[in-house]
Amino acid sequence: MIDLSDSKYYVNRELSLLQFNRRVLEQARNVETPLLERLKFLCISCSNLDEFYEVRVARLKEFEKHGLHGSGPDGMGPKEALHQIELAAHDLVKLQYSVLNDELVPALSREGINFIRRTHWTTRQQEWVRDYFKKEIFPVLSPVGLDPSHPFPPVINKSLNFIISLEGLDAFGRDTDHAIVAAPRSLPRVIRVPGDISTGKNDFVFLSSILHKHVSQLFPGMDVTGCYQFRITRNSNLFVDEEESNDLMHALEGELPTRHFGNSVRMEVADNCSEDLVELLQERFKLSDEEVFKVNGPVNLNRLISVPDMIDRDELKYPSFMPGTVFETPERETFFKVLRPHRKRSPKQSIFDILRKKDLLLHHPYQSFMPVIEFVREAARDPRVLAIKQTLYRTDSNSKIVDALIKAARAGKDVTAVVELKARFDEEANIKVANRMLEAGVQVVYGVVGHKTHAKMILVVRKESDGIRYYTHLGTGNYHYGTARAYTDFGLLSSRKDIASDVQKIFLQLTGLGKFKKLDKLLQSPFTLHDSILAGIHRETENARAGKPARIIAKMNSLLEFNVMKALYEASCAGVTIDLIIRGICGIRPGIKGVSENIQVRSIVGRFLEHHRVFCFENDGDPEVFISSADWLDRNFFRRVETCTPIEDEQLKKIVMEQGLQVYLNDNTNAWILQQDGSYTRARPERADDKFSSQQFLMDTLSA
């Protein structure tokens, strides 16, 4: 009898996440990716690693410090996990700088894009750099010489700093051996060299190079014997006791500044920094040798993300494309398209008139996000609309949807916004959005204590000739116009009474905290979603044992919840065919004889961030299909408010299955296949002319 609880069958969460980041980095190495996009992927891999240390590693260090085990299904405790992480992370960082120095910099140079080292500056460039330092940099620098009256200055999380070694007497006749120079965040890290002194059209210098060259001007009368850049990554987890806090917004506002000065978890330092200075920094920030990363290049590669936008070379970037729409908006005349029939609607026809006839499915970013914005805008200006309710997890700072909600409130409509203040790294932005809406008369609530509100829902209440009618939007992604152009997501616009009734109950639950019986159609965390997913898996298991068709296809960001993984193993043992499309973390080991032979796991990494969650259960020839805001993680099942929406219209169900699942199973260009040992191998077409990219296919199929 196989013990499916054995830790050997499960992959560690953190190591799986590092594997995902390695796949992102591989996009920077892929010569078929446009060159400036390769540079972006390098930056994204570095930004991802920053967040990994700020959140995941920081949490493991807290567990280790307080003697907590905190292991997942893989059974790996904090100490062993941290050791394995440091090995993998050092290897990853080494590869990042190799990709930069050995692959991208030479390739960019061949295209006339140069990062000029200070040892290669021409005489005229040196003169310009000297003038730039004098006018733009010198006035905002505040060097700190280290002595008893000048202790080590506070170092902000992820900021660029320099440790300086000095010889000679200072202005007061004393020996000062060391100093710290912090580069203000207002200064650009990459600076374009003027065209009249450039060797090409796109020459750049690093701020760090300029500071290195002229740092001696900050210490007149003393000799600078060394200048080395370093960066500290800190614990960025916020702690707010929701049970004890009377006002969550004010509690978070008070906690946000501490994010810049949490406990140190990592240091990046120039690889030519002297050992005595490295030891000085280690002692100051209480970091071990394993937590120090010596790098050959800028300590913050993320800042190179600005370079592609500074270069007007379309041939080195992804080709632009125009998202398709399912109906025209005031901003743009187009065609009403579902499965691409060309059927125009009258410019005067309301979105509510359309939804009374049929549901609409949107597939972002291939189809425009404007219909969602227009849905809220039309609700705001329609005199027959009585109320609008919406969840906001992440949204853009100049959100058109928030503007529409504010206009609706000022027009006298009842507007309720459930704002998730605890959306990590968006806390400050969400507080600002909440305050804007409060000032306009929007009723703002912050969800449920102990549970993040991660569901994506809009409810519009409209008085019509035949009575009150409800209109809804349910999605897999955030109400953020920027990410809607970069993340793959589904959204369903509907006037179905049964769905609207469930959405209304969830909003009443979020605002009034009252209990409701089981919903009619929607599955919801933390109440019914977990049990329902398990029930779907168990039903497929029993169907396989009975010789009936049995298959599970599921697409999501992450899979780690133990009971779901164990149920999938049991289903595989029974003969269920299981195809999992998981972008990031996956705790399952596929292909183990007698355990997971019928499970295949693939990850798609391409131009767009795969973000939608789609679940399909064969159900003996009558497939059940869902779109959801939830991954299959403990937090999504038990510590968040999530929704999972059944797609029952046969035409829309076909679209979801084809566009949300099957195209990804056919992908042999951007797909990576998970191996038993937790590593991934890139899928390869058998023949060059058999290449198939799911994202390119969807762009070709759905774009305007």
User: Cα–Cα distance between 361 and 326 in angstroms, integer?
Assistant: 8
* 474-484 b/e (C-beta count within 10 Å ≥ 16 → b): bbbbbbbbebb
pLDDT of residue 148: 57
User: Cα–Cα distance between 448 and 243 in angstroms, integer?
Assistant: 11
pTM score of the predicted model: 0.91
pLDDT of residue 659: 97
The number of C-alpha atoms within 13 Å of 166 and in the hemisphere containing its C-beta is: 27
Cis peptide bond upstream of 106, omega within 30: no
- The residue among 402, 418, 419 whose CA lies nearest residue 410 is 402
In DSSP notation, 344-358 reads ---TT--HHHHHHH-
* 100-112 b/e (C-beta count within 10 Å ≥ 16 → b): beeebbeebeebe
What is the residue type of 403? Answer: D
CA distances from 677 to 9, 17, 581, 681 (A): 10, 14, 18, 11
- The residue among 124, 109, 121, 111 whose CA lies nearest residue 196 is 124
Contact residues for 648 (Cβ-Cβ < 8 A; gap 6+)? none
CA distances from 366 to 204, 483, 490, 561 (A): 35, 12, 10, 31
Instruction: Give the domain 524-702 fold.
Output: Endonuclease; Chain A (3.30.870)
| Cα-based angle 79, 81, 86 (whole degrees, multiple of 5) | 100
* 44-63 b/e (C-beta count within 10 Å ≥ 16 → b): bbbbbbbebbbbbbbbbbbb
Class of domain 351-518: alpha beta
The number of C-alpha atoms within 13 Å of 36 and in the hemisphere containing its C-beta is: 20
User: Cα–Cα distance between 222 and 167 in angstroms, integer?
Assistant: 6
C-beta separation of 451 from 422 below 8 A: no
User: Cα–Cα distance between 298 and 211 in angstroms, integer?
Assistant: 12
Residues of the chain with CATH 3.30.1840.10: 7-316
Q: Give every residue of the chain whose pLDDT is below 50, as ranges.
A: 240-246, 249, 251-255, 328-346
**φ, ψ of residue 463 in degrees (nearest 5):** -90, 120
**DSSP strands (E only) in 454-550:** 456-464, 467-475, 487-494, 523-525
Q: Which of 214, 364, 451, 454 is catalytic?
A: 454
- The residue among 396, 404, 349 whose CA lies nearest residue 376 is 404
Q: At what angle do helices 427-440 and 248-255 cross, to 10 degrees?
A: 140
Q: Which residues pair with 581 in a beta bridge?
A: 555, 602
What is the residue type of 301? Answer: L
Residues of the chain with CATH 3.30.870.10: 351-518, 524-702
155, two tokens: 């170092």
CA distances from 295 to 93, 209, 278 (A): 8, 15, 13
Instruction: Give the domain 7-316 fold.
Output: polyphosphate kinase like (3.30.1840)
169, two tokens: 């007497």
What is the residue type of 252? Answer: L
C-beta separation of 623 from 657 below 8 A: yes
- CA distance from start to end of the chain: 55
Instruction: Quote the DSSP letter at residue 594.
Output: T
Instruction: Classify the phi-psi angles of 70: left when phi > 0, otherwise alpha if psi is within -120 to 50, otherwise beta.
Output: left
Annotation marks residue 250 as catalytic: no
pLDDT of residue 345: 45
User: Cα–Cα distance between 231 and 180 in angstroms, integer?
Assistant: 12
